[in-house]
Each structure stands twice: as structure tokens, then as C-alpha cells.
Amino acid sequence: MITACVLSVLQAPVTYADTGHVEAQATLAVSEDVPHTKDSLKLVKSRVEAETAALLDIREQAEWKAGHLKVAVFVPLSELKKSTPSAEVQKALSSLDKNEPIYLHCRSGRRVLTATPLLKRMGFDVRPLKAGFDELRKNGFEVAKP
């Protein structure tokens, strides 16, 4: 009898009440598909300085103006989300080498996970950084003079 009850529960179809749980699992799976890079900040810095990789700052205009890294290319996430990004962003993207790693940074490492699939669809080797602007600065990335 107990075995029959357990089997009936295991074979029960997903109901509307279960949908939130299923959606939560789907969201979790998506975030797991876009992990932060395991490349060390030392390696990132050396590649960017040697021009064998690029560093994209995907923060927004006000954040960029408040301070940005000297070696970073400005490509705001809001522009990446548009079906037709601005001419300035298109020019910045066309200047990137699709055969080299493209490291992404934002303020805290969250927005890079949203930008990654957008840039991957464009054919880039994207590597999102968990380190944000302040952490990169503290690890020797030079801030541009205003």
C-alpha cells in the first residue's frame, strides 16, 4: 500500500501550483550556463595589456563618466540589448577580434552574466568577470584620467 502511494506521487503530473518551482529551476539552469571566468585577474590584466584580449566595460554612461579603466572599451549593456545598437557601440564591437578573449566587467559582476549570451550570439569568445570595477582597480588596472 505504501509503495503504491509513493509511486502515485512520483508519477503525478506537474500541476499549475508546481509551475513556480519549475520556472525557478529553469532560471537556475540559465544562470549556471553562464559562469564567471576562472581566468585570474593577473592573467586578464596581462592579456589585456599585451593586446591579446579586450576588456569591455558594460556599465552605463553615468558610471563610465564617474570613472573607468584606461584599457576598457565602453559598450553599455542597455545598448547591447537593443536590436540596433548605436553607431558608436557598433563601431566598438567591430573593432574587437573574435578570435581573442573578450573580458566583461561591470560594477559587481552581475550584469556581465546578462551581456555574455548577447555577445556570444555575435560570435565573441566572452569571459565574464566576477570582479567589478573597484576590485579591478584595486588589482592594478589603471583608471583613466578624467
Per-domain boundaries in the chain: 2-32, 36-138
Grid cell, residue 79, equals 545598448
What are the two backbone dihedrals, phi and then psi, of residue 122, each rounded to the nearest 5 degrees? -85, -5
Whole-number Å distance between alpha carbons of 109 and 130: 4
Question: SS3 of 57, please?
Answer: strand
pLDDT tens profile 28-75: 334 447 899 999 999 999 999 999 999 999 999 999 999 999 999 999
In residues, how long is the chain? Answer: 146
Question: Which residues pair with residue 126 across a beta bridge?
Answer: 102
Check if the beta carbon of residue 113 is closer than 8 Å to that of residue 65: no
Whole-number Å distance between alpha carbons of 68 and 55: 11
pLDDT tens profile 120-139: 999 999 999 999 999 999 99
Fold of 36-138: Oxidized Rhodanese; domain 1 (3.40.250)
